[in-house]
Amino acid sequence: MFQVAMLTKVAHSSIGAMRQHFESVMQETEPVTAEVIAVRKAPVGDKLLALVDVAITIHGIDFKVRGLRVSREFVNGTHATSVTSPLHRSVDEQWSSTVAFPKELHQPLSDIV
């Protein structure tokens, strides 16, 4: 389990009040759990190693992300693995991320995969 900042609506009109609200929100955390629920190996020989499904619970709300991509990377002369969001092809035929994870979730998700 890891902690992320709790998201709340800001209903203040002054910059000072907004800053004060932001600082108080950043001190609060909400437990987040994530669990790998399925792993599908990719064919051998490609950069893609596997597709992974993850169940995530944030503030008691459960959801699943299917198709996290586990890939082989070559970084600074050594092999490494990376975990990225699932991809989809948009109407203009370009590939893009299906889910944009906040930076607070990206590294913990990479760690459990």
pLDDT digits (tens, 9 = 90+) for 39-69: 999 988 788 999 999 999 888 889 999 999 9
For the residues 4-33, what does the mean pLDDT come to? 57
Given this model, what pLDDT does residue 82 score? 86
Q: How far apart are the first and last CA of the chain?
A: 13
> Which DSSP helix (H) or strand (E) runs through 30?
strand 29-41
Judge whether residue 3 has pLDDT over 70: no
Instruction: Answer whether 63's CB lies under 8 Å from 43's CB.
Output: no
Look up residue 101 and give its two tokens. Answer: 């994870």
Given this model, what pLDDT does residue 54 score? 93
Judge whether residue 21 has pLDDT over 70: no
Given this model, what pLDDT does residue 28 score? 63
Name the pLDDT band for 8 (thresholds 50, 70, 90).
Answer: very low
For the residues 87-107, what does the mean pLDDT come to? 86
Instruction: Answer whether 66's CB lies under 8 Å from 52's CB.
Output: no
For the residues 73-97, what does the mean pLDDT come to? 87
